[in-house]
């Protein structure tokens, strides 16, 4: 059994190509026509058609309820502090930066004003930056570090990687910002080159430097030769050694953008409270820019690593309730208060539906999209300032987006999975003003299946988000929310956008306001189809909004580029792909042998896979899981991309 290889790091492979070609081949439209039926040559999780049944219906909902909003944020109780539209970002251990990626990021930027991405994970702790690698390689794998139980190979990174990250930011008008992982496996001899190059190359596109990753697991994993009695006090001391080294290092001019402590906070691991009680926040106040935690609601490690049979059907209901997100954040409510008092943003630095690859038939469904939006809004409502959904290879079920396997990249495009709508809709719900304040309305008597939130912008009600987690084609569980603003000037009409599907178990044909990303292998990262926004008239200041089962509605009280299809929304630059070959000898490459998988770390309750660590079993497991992903990386290295440029809605 292989306890997760936790590979980190970007292979921002294609950006140099994109940058070069951008501007040379303008207005080249897509010439890919996806093959009618994808052949069954992809056993990857991303293309697994496994379908579950929607969880059984609870007793009938109350299908009529009222929501009354305060006219300003002074009269509405329970609002969060302001959060940015870039709230929901990504945590990337390995990523493929191709044209579809840029398009997806453009969609988020246009809605939320920006995107935040973290590059890091377990391998950051044994990573080393070298001045260059042969043949333009940006990442290389070293030897398996015998001192580490996770069998994580040491990584070598060339500065070219960070140049490419900055190239990506630059392509997106510097709206895409980064967090970088910095190793802390050896605090007597800290390797700070990633921080040095990061600040020098990325400048203001660097949001933060994460020092160490999940230190509550260092003892269990014997990372850096630590013993299993590694304590919060040891961590406090070692973190201090890192801060002292950073404070001495003239090549790291910005001292106060450190991210820590990045613990999982599992029941058997350290809580943030235990770390804070060491005096951590006070001692390192001048360095800490952010407080971070990393947690998933569940894990699929047993199935992934020991073929344990798992009743996924029984698990599905854990994701189709409001309680799911509430349970997850309940571990961090104290932390949110402490962080706010300390004036530090609290970030959920790595999360998704389940670590160890997610759950088939759950992580890749409409239900997961609803869960993702609900969980995101819950985090915002209770005091988080951002959250990063983990992205991995095609061997996981929870990816928001996945490129095609290597040898199919010439005739197939990307697969955008339902949970990407959580990023898209969170960005739209919060908007770009950085003034969004979120409140959980405890709607319908705090019904677990019909949560609702209000989002205020600039102090006034901007939007209401309404969920229906039930699946009932009969219509008996379709509800109507009657929304009013108490003491307001009166609302004539509202604009409503729906995220549609006929079942929470559905994987395909999910649409956001009439648009979607197509089915598997069908996306170049742009929304397809015509926008459809409903206008709902209100009477006596009450707006009645129907939400089908299942359903999600975003109700807008204010007009923006995204609520009004008649006005010309601000143009979103996007890029199109073609299947024409494009190769460059000078293009940076990634040695594919390093690109093993990350299945997402941080299972709860100490259930991290920690079994056998023999190299044989580790290797076997890794090969089994990783094979397809290697293929996918190849697509980035050798795939064909021509960048065009046009604007669409
Ligand atoms: C793919 O495999 C599934 C399960 O074996 C089968 O039902 C389906 O028809 C296959 N699809 C194609 C296109 O061959
Ligand atoms: C560099 O690339 C050339 C040509 O592909 C190859 O022959 C050589 O072995 C590579 N060198 C290294 C160190 O990978
Ligand atoms: C893009 O990357 C190249 C190196 O690959 C670097 O020379 C250049 O400065 C980068 N451009 C930006 C805007 O970061
Ligand atoms: C830390 O990681 C580096 C790079 O992988 C390795 O050379 C070094 O031996 C490690 N140090 C410890 C104490 O494990
Ligand atoms: C922790 O374990 C190591 C090695 O097993 C031992 O040398 C050390 O004294 C222990 N430390 C504490 C505080 O118990
Ligand atoms: C899991 O099952 C597959 C297919 O039956 C088998 O090849 C593999 O060895 C099993 N892995 C473990 C860890 O039992
Ligand atoms: C998920 O569902 C299973 C089966 O219904 C239940 O036993 C388990 O406690 C649930 N887990 C969580 C985290 O809610
Ligand atoms: C792509 O590669 C896979 C795995 O090597 C192979 O099974 C499949 O047939 C290949 N597909 C094509 C279209 O070449
Ligand atoms: C209300 O919103 C305004 C504008 O965003 C903000 O300046 C103010 O602090 C907010 N007040 C409260 C009580 O949240
Ligand atoms: C896709 O969804 C739309 C409405 O959301 C529905 O009208 C259409 O029949 C669905 N198509 C398929 C193939 O299920």
How remote is the CA of residue 625 from the centroid of ligand 6, in Å? 11
Angle at 564 between CA 559 and CA 567, to 5 degrees: 105
Ligand number with the minimum distance to the CA of 234: 5
pLDDT at 546: 98
Average pLDDT, the chain: 80
H or E, element range at 553: strand 551-556
Q: Is the pLDDT of residue 64 over 60?
A: yes
Residue pLDDT, tens place only, 115-142: 999 998 777 888 888 888 887 777 777 6
Residue pLDDT, tens place only, 334-352: 999 999 999 999 999 999 9
Residue pair 125/190 in contact by the 8 Å Cβ criterion: no
How many CA atoms lie within 13 Å of 118's alpha carbon, on the beta-carbon side?
A: 33
**pTM of the predicted model as reported, rounded to 2 decimal places:** 0.84
Ligand number with the minimum distance to the CA of 222: 4
pLDDT at 98: 67
Q: Is the pLDDT of residue 222 over 70?
A: yes
Structure-token pair, residue 170: 């630059």
How remote is the CA of residue 620 from the centroid of ligand 6, in Å? 10
Residue 644's pLDDT band, with cuts at 50, 70 and 90, is very low
Q: Is the pLDDT of residue 355 over 80?
A: yes
Ligand number with the minimum distance to the CA of 323: 7
pLDDT at 153: 63
Q: Is the pLDDT of residue 454 over 70?
A: yes
* Ligand 4 contacts CB of residue 472 (under 6 A): no
Ligand 10, residues at Cβ distance < 6 Å: 500, 509, 511
Mean pLDDT of 177-182: 96
**Whole-number percent of the chain with pLDDT over 90:** 60
pLDDT at 8: 23
How remote is the CA of residue 435 from the centroid of ligand 9, in Å? 8
* Ligand 3 contacts CB of residue 166 (under 6 A): yes
- Strands (DSSP E) along 61-196, which ranges? 64-70, 88-92, 115-119, 127-129, 137-144, 153-157, 176-182
How remote is the CA of residue 436 from the centroid of ligand 9, in Å? 9
Ligand number with the minimum distance to the CA of 47: 1
Ligand 6 atom 7: the closest Cα is on which residue?
624
Using CA atoms, how far apart are residues 457 and 434, in angstroms rounded to an integer? 8
Given the structure tokens 């992934």, which residue do they identify? 304
Structure-token pair, residue 279: 């005096």
Strand partners, 480: 64, 546
pLDDT at 158: 87
Residue 643's pLDDT band, with cuts at 50, 70 and 90, is very low
Ligand 8 atom 7: the closest Cα is on which residue?
41
Structure-token pair, residue 12: 């921002």
* Ligand 2 contacts CB of residue 135 (under 6 A): yes
Which residue from 38, 39, 41, 412 has its CB within 8 A of the most atoms of ligand 8, so it is best to mutate? 41
Ligand 6, residues at Cβ distance < 6 Å: 306-307
* Ligand 4 contacts CB of residue 224 (under 6 A): yes
Ligand number with the minimum distance to the CA of 407: 8
Q: Which residue has the higher pLDDT, 564 or 172?
A: 172
Q: Which residue has the higher pLDDT, 232 or 265?
A: 232
Given the structure tokens 């969170």, which residue do they identify? 426
* Ligand 2 contacts CB of residue 134 (under 6 A): yes
SS3 content of the chain, % helix, strand, coil (to 5): 30, 25, 45
Residue 108 main-chain phi, psi, to 5 deg: -70, -40
pLDDT at 131: 86
What is 54-75 written as a DSSP string? PPPP-SPPP-EEEEEEESSTTT
Residue 143 main-chain phi, psi, to 5 deg: -75, 150
Residue pLDDT, tens place only, 385-438: 999 999 887 888 999 998 887 777 778 889 999 999 999 999 999 999 999 999
CA dihedral 396, 401, 407, 411 (to 10 degrees): 140
pLDDT at 340: 97
Ligand 10 atom nearest residue 511's Cα: 5
Which residue from 21, 163, 169, 178 has its CB within 8 A of the most atoms of ligand 3, so it is best to mutate? 163
């Amino acid at each position: 059994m292989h306890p997760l290889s936790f590979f980190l790091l970007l292979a921002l492979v294609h950006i140099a190509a994109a940058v070069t070609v951008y501007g040379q081949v303008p207005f080249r439209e897509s010439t890919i026509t996806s093959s009618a039926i994808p052949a069954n040559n992809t056993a990857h999780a991303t293309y697994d058609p496994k379908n579950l049944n929607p969880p059984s219906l609870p007793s009938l909902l109350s299908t009529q309820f009222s929501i009354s909003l305060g006219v300003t944020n002074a009269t509405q109780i329970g609002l969060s502090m302001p959060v940015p539209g870039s709230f929901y970002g990504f945590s990337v251990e390995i990523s493929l930066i191709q044209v579809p990626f840029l398009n997806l990021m453009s969609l988020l930027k246009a809605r939320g004003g920006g995107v935040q991405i973290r590059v890091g994970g377990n391998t950051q702790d044994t990573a080393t930056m070298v001045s260059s690698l042969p043949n333009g390689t940006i990442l290389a794998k070293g030897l398996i570090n015998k001192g580490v139980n996770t069998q994580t190979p040491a990584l070598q990174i060339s500065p070219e990687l960070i140049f490419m990250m900055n190239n990506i930011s630059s392509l997106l008008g510097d709206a895409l910002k980064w967090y970088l992982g910095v190793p802390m496996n050896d605090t007597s001899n800290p390797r700070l080159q990633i921080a040095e190059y990061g600040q020098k190359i990325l400048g203001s596109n660097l949001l933060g430097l994460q020092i160490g990753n999940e230190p509550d697991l260092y003892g269990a994993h014997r990372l850096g030769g630590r013993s299993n009695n590694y304590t919060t006090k040891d961590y406090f001391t070692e973190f201090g050694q890192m801060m002292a080294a950073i404070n001495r290092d003239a090549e790291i001019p910005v001292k106060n953008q450190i991210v820590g402590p990045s613990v999982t906070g599992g029941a058997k691991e350290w809580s943030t409270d235990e770390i804070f009680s060491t005096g951590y926040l006070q001692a390192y106040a001048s360095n800490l820019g952010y407080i971070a935690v990393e947690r998933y609601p569940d894990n699929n490690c047993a199935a992934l690593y020991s073929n344990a049979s798992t009743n996924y059907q029984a698990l599905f209901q854990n994701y189709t309730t409001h309680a799911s997100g509430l349970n997850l954040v309940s571990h961090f409510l104290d932390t949110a208060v402490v962080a706010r008092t300390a004036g530090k943003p609290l970030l959920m630095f790595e999360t998704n539906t389940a670590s160890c690859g997610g759950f088939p038939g759950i992580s890749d469904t409409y239900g997961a999209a609803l869960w993702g939006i609900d969980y995101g809004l819950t985090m915002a409502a209770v005091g988080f300032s951002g959250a990063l959904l983990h992205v991995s290879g095609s061997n996981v079920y929870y990816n928001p987006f996945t490129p095609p396997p290597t040898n199919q990249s010439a005739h197939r495009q990307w697969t955008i999975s339902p949970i990407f709508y959580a990023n898209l809709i969170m960005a739209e719900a919060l908007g770009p003003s950085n003034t969004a304040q979120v409140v959980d309305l405890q709607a319908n008597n705090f019904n677990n299946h019909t949560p609702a939130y209000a989002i205020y912008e600039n102090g006034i009600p901007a939007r209401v988000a309404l969920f229906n987690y039930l699946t009932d084609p009969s219509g008996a569980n379709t509800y109507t929310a009657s929304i009013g603003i108490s003491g307001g000037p009166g609302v004539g009409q509202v604009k409503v956008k729906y995220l549609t599907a006929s079942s929470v178990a559905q994987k395909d044909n999910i649409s956001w306001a009439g648009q979607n990303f197509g089915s598997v292998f069908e996306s170049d990262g742009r929304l397809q189809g015509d926008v459809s926004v409903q206008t709902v008239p209100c009477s006596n200041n009450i707006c009645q909004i129907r939400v089908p089962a299942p359903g999600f509605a975003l109700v807008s009280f204010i007009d923006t580029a995204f609520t009004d299809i008649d006005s010309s929304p601000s143009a979103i630059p996007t890029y199109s792909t073609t299947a024409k070959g494009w190769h460059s000898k000078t293009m940076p490459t990634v040695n594919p042998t390093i690109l093993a998988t990350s299945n997402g770390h941080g299972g709860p309750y100490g259930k991290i896979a920690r079994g056998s660590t023999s190299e044989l079993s580790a290797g076997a497991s890794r090969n089994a899981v990783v094979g397809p992903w290697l293929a996918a990386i190849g697509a980035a290295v050798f795939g064909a991309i021509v960048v065009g440029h046009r604007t669409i809605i």
